[in-house]
Amino acid sequence: MIEHLPDRLDLYAMAEAGRELRGRIDLASLERVLPLLSSPDGALQVTLELGKSHDGTRYLSGTIEGTLSLQCQRCLESMAYPLQVSFQLGLVHSQEEMGKLPDRFEPLLVSQEPAHVADLVSDEVLLTLPIVPVHTDMKQCRELATDYQTPNDCQRENPFAVLAQLKQKQ
C-alpha cells in the first residue's frame, strides 16, 4: 500500500504491476465538483487499487469517503452530505473494448496517460451526487430558514378536482 496519492497515474502500467494507493485529496483541487459545493474546505479520503483480473481486464477499483458541503435546494442553507463511493472500473482504450468488458466493470475510457487523479475522483463523485440536494430532515430546513414557508397545497388549484368537475358534466 502506497500512502500517497500522486497528481497523475499511469493507469495501464500500474494495473499491470498491481498497485494499491491511499491518500487524501483536497476538495479545492476537484475543479468540476467545486461549483456544486457551498464550501471548498476539506478533503476526501481515497483508496485506489489497480490490477489485472483473471480474465485479463485491467481495472481500477477504489473508494472515496468524506463529507461535502452542499446547498440545500429547499432552504438554501449549507448541508453536510456524507459521501461514501465505491467503484470498479475496467480500463479500455476504445468503444470496441468497451463492448467486450465484463459486466461487473464500468468502463473507464483512458484517452490520456498519465491520467489526472483529480479528474478520476471528480467523475466518481459527480455520479453519486443528488441532482437536487435537500436536507433529509425537514426540521433542519425549518430551523435554519427563518422565513421558510410550507407551501400550502390548499391554496393551489388541484388539477384533479378540475378533471372531476369535467367528468360530472358529461
Nearest to 7 by CA among 46, 39, 62, 59: 46
3-state SS assignment for residue 110? coil
Distance CA(81)–CA(66), nearest Å, equals 9
By CB under 5 A, name the one of 11, 46, 72, 120 that touches Zn ion: 72
Among residues 19 and 74, whose Cβ is nearest to Zn ion?
74
With vertex at residue 21, the alpha carbon angle to CA 102 and CA 70, rounded to the nearest 5 degrees, is 85
Residue 169 identity: K
**HSE-CB of 1 using CA atoms within 13 angstroms:** 7
Q: Is 117 in the site for Zn ion (CB under 5 A)?
A: no
Among residues 98 and 129, whose Cβ is nearest to Zn ion?
129
Q: What are phi and psi of 138, to 5 degrees?
A: -60, -30
- The residues in 73-102 that bind Zn ion, with binding defined as CB under 5 A, are 74-75
Output the CA–CA distances (angstroms, integers) from residue 29 to 5, 55, 90, 117, in the order listed: 13, 35, 25, 10
- Which window, 25-33, 68-76, 102-110, 122-130, contacts Zn ion (CB under 5 A)? 68-76
Tell me the per-residue interface mask from 132 to 161 with Zn ion, x by CB under 5 A, - otherwise: ---x-----x--------------------
- Which window, 6-14, 43-51, 72-80, 121-129, contacts Zn ion (CB under 5 A)? 72-80
Supply the minimum distance, in Å, between the C-beta of residue 134 and Zn ion: 6
Supply the minimum distance, in Å, between the C-beta of residue 27 and Zn ion: 21
Supply the minimum distance, in Å, between the C-beta of residue 36 and Zn ion: 16
* Sign of torsion over alpha carbons 49, 10, 25, 141: negative
Supply the minimum distance, in Å, between the C-beta of residue 75 and Zn ion: 3
Distance CA(94)–CA(87), nearest Å, equals 20
Size of the residue set binding Zn ion (CB under 5 A): 5
Residues of this chain that bind Zn ion (CB under 5 A):
72, 74-75, 135, 141
